[in-house]
Structure 1
């Protein structure tokens, strides 16, 4: 079992995609990469904590290769925009990857190299050592599955799910 901590804008988007990925055993929305010890959604959204919205994706690599998890990450958001994903603007929405060891760091760098061939602009994804991971409030966990009719889910998440399915349909459940 492996766990990657990844930030690609709003954590609801990555959560929705990884919850539907074969071999993923758990997805936890949270905050990391900042300098406050008890971040919450309101403070993170204010931009003053330095934390990014992230997901901790745990998966069984005998079912889904880590390359699929990482390549899905780069299909699911725009890694070429600094501190922004669509209408979401601020450091909390930065493209980020948090490693726990040199092996993960190397995997993340290799994924960036693979993904760069798909983008015209340079990838600006931050790759740093994982500091403390803070679990987000319960209402953020598995948000899309609980609220698929919500406007953000319809307008922002559904197109990202469609794009992920376009390229990785064999790895995603309906």
Structure 2
């Protein structure tokens, strides 16, 4: 079970032990998951029941562990919601930057990675507007096309220490 997905976490908020999953059964578990808007509830219910059928041993402390799993699953879901809200705020703030369109037009650059890129390059200090990003991406593209044979591997990406604003090498504070 992949606990980075909401479905398995939702399952663990209701059913933590193999015995509880066996008692509810596949059909009722699937319905319970669907009522909580879990995607592919049928597949998750089937996998959970099959796994529970193979685990027949009950251990001392299982009830206490089940309570802990329930609490932790709810906390992880809450943290995931908070991260999603923060991501939305970061994206909204990044959309206000003048270089947003240029940065997100680069292959693989979405709003979150673009905001990380802006932060890693010094933000407003080194990329006050879209011009340095356009110059850098144009230079990198032209250099790559000029030096790479048509069917050869393009090689490593430019150094992350290449300045974007054309002012020379980055300086480091002592």
User: Shorter-chain TM-score category?
Assistant: under 0.3
Higher-strand-fraction structure:
1
Q: Which one has the largest radius of gyration?
A: 2
Normalised TM-score (structure 1): 0.23
Normalised TM-score (structure 2): 0.23
